[in-house]
Amino acid sequence: QIDELLDALGIAGPVDLVGLSMGGVITASYAAEHPARVRRLVLIDPMATAREIGPLRWPLLGEYLFRVAVLPGMAAGQASDFVHPERFPDWSERYRPQMRHFGFGRAILSTLREVATRDPLPAYRAVGALQRPVLLVWGEQDQIVPYAVSAAVREALGAHQFFAVADAGHLPHLERPQMVEPALPEFLRAGIEIVPLPFNQIPKAVADGQVAAGVVLVPFLTAVLSEYPDLVNLGDGIHA
């Protein structure tokens, strides 16, 4: 789907990708399979071990159990992502709108079956072999993907930058934005010339081949955009 998205947008690459949780192994796998299309990776509390999902694996029964036993409690269950859920009292309500989209549950179940049940470490080793720049961010109090397992991911990646975030759980970019958000543009801009490019000039610049468009897939993109209202040309791609 990442490949199809880039093709649909007319982006030849390379791009920078940010993957969170299961998105970490998804973006790492994509980078390993399409190295020419990826420049840098940011992995935030990425999945580190295979997960046993029991009868959810089974056709038909799995769909039924997921719909009646798992899906209804997903929004309320998001509180465990935080060390301080009291600071996000409306988080479950903010999570619910996406659940109304057709195919939401099917997509989550498919990801559990096809991604979460597989050992992610080979994907990280493959990324390490590519020698692409990687920033690994981890909340020290993560209850979903415990900080202790970060050691295995770090070993698999080889050379990389590591950023441990104190007093943060599975979503360190939300609990400690003052620490995490500045680290992303700093990492993505490293070693490249930055030239301001106003938003209204981007489509023509890409169409004329003056710049190669890139994307950052990151759940707090709106927060980054609020700080950087103009998109900037980062040499190999356009990023927020």
> What does the pLDDT look like over 136-175, one tens digit per residue?
999 999 999 999 999 999 999 999 999 999 999 999 999 9
pLDDT band at residue 216, thresholds of 50, 70 and 90? very low
* pLDDT digits 0-9 by tens, 172-215: 999 999 999 999 999 998 866 555 556 566 666 655 555 544 43
Phi-psi region of 235 (alpha: psi -120 to 50; beta: other; left: phi over 0): left
> Quick one: DSSP state of residue 152?
H
Contact (CB, 8 A) for 35 and 59 = no
pLDDT reading at 236 higher than 60: no
Chain segment 67-120, per-residue pLDDT in tens: 999 999 999 999 999 999 999 999 999 999 999 999 999 999 999 999 999 999
pTM as predicted:
0.78
